[in-house]
Amino acid sequence: MPELLEKWARGLDAVVEVLGRVAAWTGLALVLVMAGNVVARYLFKVGSVATQELEWHLMAPLTLLCIAYAIKHDGHVRVDVLYSRLPEMARRLIDLFSALCALALAVIVVKISIPYVMQSYRIGEGSPDPGGLPYRWIIKAMIPAGFVLFGVQSLGAVLRALKPFFGGRDGLKTASINAG
């Protein structure tokens, strides 16, 4: 059973890894669009509402889709002052509880955000500004998409946190720097 849990967790990790890397490339696109806007504005004295809106349209996938990727690579803030001093069983239970809470949060946000996106799609919502971008539902769709990916990462964490309870090797993800 522990091997099966790890196999599933590795499969979920692979999904997060691929989608996180793809989403990270929107960072390059964002930098290029912002640089283009600055050059156009200050050198050529022209500007575009659409390209200014494109900046935050690129920021949404960058932030929302990369949350799971950052968590997968321990790029998030963690407070280990007390955690590292707790007994192993307490740390295992905390890991499982926190992974389950994260998964529940992901499910709730996806459930709440889908009607929000669908309403935007149904009414054909676009930018209220003249010359702005159409299809506002695409940017809004990043909310459920990002939290689905966060849910996938959280499910992987749940599976890893369950491993020790089925006789597998410890699934604890502690910051070894602080455990010293």
Instruction: Name which of 54-68, 95-109, 132-146 the model is least confident about.
Output: 54-68
Number of H helices, E strands in the chain: 6, 0
For the segment 167-171, the average pLDDT, to the nearest whole number, is 66
pLDDT attached to residue 112: 97
For the segment 167-176, the average pLDDT, to the nearest whole number, is 56
pLDDT attached to residue 72: 83
The contacts of residue 65 (CB under 8 Å, 6+ apart) are: 19, 20, 22, 23, 142, 145, 146, 149
Instruction: Name which of 22-26, 122-126, 148-152, 154-158 the model is least confident about.
Output: 22-26
Local confidence band at 173 (pLDDT 50, 70, 90 cut-offs): low
Local confidence band at 13 (pLDDT 50, 70, 90 cut-offs): confident
Domain range enclosing 35: 2-179
What pTM was estimated for this model as a whole?
A: 0.80
The contacts of residue 64 (CB under 8 Å, 6+ apart) are: 142, 143, 145, 146, 147
Local confidence band at 39 (pLDDT 50, 70, 90 cut-offs): very high
Question: Whole-number mean pLDDT of the chain?
Answer: 86
Local confidence band at 77 (pLDDT 50, 70, 90 cut-offs): low
For the segment 48-63, the average pLDDT, to the nearest whole number, is 89
Structural domain count, the chain: 1
H/E segment holding residue 66: helix 49-72
pLDDT digits (tens, 9 = 90+) for 149-158: 999 999 988 9
Burial class (CB in 10 A: 0-12, 13-18, 19+), 79: exposed
What is the token pair recorded at 172?
Answer: 């604890």
pLDDT digits (tens, 9 = 90+) for 94-110: 889 989 999 999 999 99
